[in-house]
Structure 1
């Protein structure tokens, strides 16, 4: 009669061992997911700091030279373009990191995008004539795209942003080696909009939910406010 009891004990021990292994596997998956999320959060925080430093460098450049710099020559040359912007599209590209004395890439190893109002790149900037025409967009509670800076149409009286800075986050963008990065997002139309756009960038809260309006999103956008720009330039005697 001892043999059946022993088998039951063995089966019970095997079941406990199986449950233990499943628990360890589940804990491992949870820890891996937490580690990935923590890593992404650290990258976001580091990149936000870099964006703030880039904005401060742009303001410092304007205070010294009486204008904002033009975008970089290319993804492999961080000097600002020598030629004046022929139109709004020509004033959208990559941050001229060499000219500003900044690192080339963000925490994802990608170049920061830079879109600047053409009127802000020619010295002297005349405040009563120059139009800050870079639009920072967002989404309202219904999911509709709306302006976050300025109005639908930018003007001297209703200025938008003087310039915009963009980090593409983990999807899309261009690496510091000049290589276009792939898209692993799901239905991330807002990220694709930013990746293909020039004058305007869209900013909203980060989400992994593909069902959200605009899909998954982790882009980071920072605006150079025209009033703050003029204050710095005026204090340095560089505003007309």
Structure 2
């Protein structure tokens, strides 16, 4: 009587299928953990950028202009009142987020002027920088009084600005991460935080 101690092709196929499922389940959490770690690191870097902006304003009496070249990271006065790259070289801060994508940056018009205008800062200055979520609920004031001094944006894992973040206008979207749908990470510098620092350093009258 012949006894076959080997495995049939069907048995081998079943084993390989089970192994592939196990590997898939193991790899997915690792990938998710890496993305979560990068997300948190980028959030931390955004907070460091805000502190660097406050430091720059304390020294120069205004916020920097955006940079036109992401490689050099030097502010470009031609981008006054426009969006551009973060002037990381002038700030002495990280150039890219945790995925290697350059940060975007825009300052509200009146905070980048060579001489800050006290009346403009506390007056109605038209449509200021605004932040809302994907459901169109505003997270900042929706009035003409701009209470957002600057926006700093990471385009996240896919490196592409989502929703209105790519429109080069004054409205930005901040919301929770949704895989393959929304991965931008955004923060903003409030007027009150900036003005408080400028008061403390004597750049604005009390």
TM-score normalised by L of structure 2: 0.86
Residue among 55, 66, 72 paired with 2:50: 55
CA contact (8 A) 1:116 1:199 kept: no
CA contact (8 A) 1:126 1:239 kept: no
**Alignment deviations for residues 22-61 of structure 1 (CA, whole Å, 9 cap, x no partner):** 2211111122222221221111111111111111100111
Structure 2 unaligned blocks of 5 or more: none
2:167 paired with 1:167: no
2:101 paired with 1:120: no
Residue among 28, 32, 54 paired with 2:23: 28
**Cα distance in 2, alignment partners of residues 80 and 14 from structure 1:** 65
TM-score normalised by L of structure 1: 0.74
Q: SS where residue 24 of structure 2 aligns?
A: helix
How many residues are treated as equivalent by the alignment?
Answer: 201
Superposed, 1:5-154 pairs within 5 Å as: 6=3, 17-83=12-78, 85=80, 88=81, 90=82, 92-130=83-121, 131=125, 133-139=128-134, 144-151=135-142, 153-154=143-144
Residue among 176, 188, 191 paired with 1:205: 176
**Cα distance in 1, alignment partners of residues 166 and 102 from structure 2:** 12
Residue among 199, 202, 205 paired with 1:237: 202
Residue among 188, 192, 195 paired with 1:223: 188
CA contact (8 A) 2:147 2:192 kept: no
**Alignment deviations for residues 148-196 of structure 1 (CA, whole Å, 9 cap, x no partner):** 1111x331xxx331111000012234xxxxxxxxxxxxxxxx7153123
**Cα distance in 2, alignment partners of residues 195 and 75 from structure 1:** 17
Superposition CA RMSD, Å = 2.4
Q: Report which structure shows greater RCO (CA 8 Å, sep ≥6).
A: 1
Pairwise CA distance, 1:126? 3.3
CA contact (8 A) 2:85 2:103 kept: yes
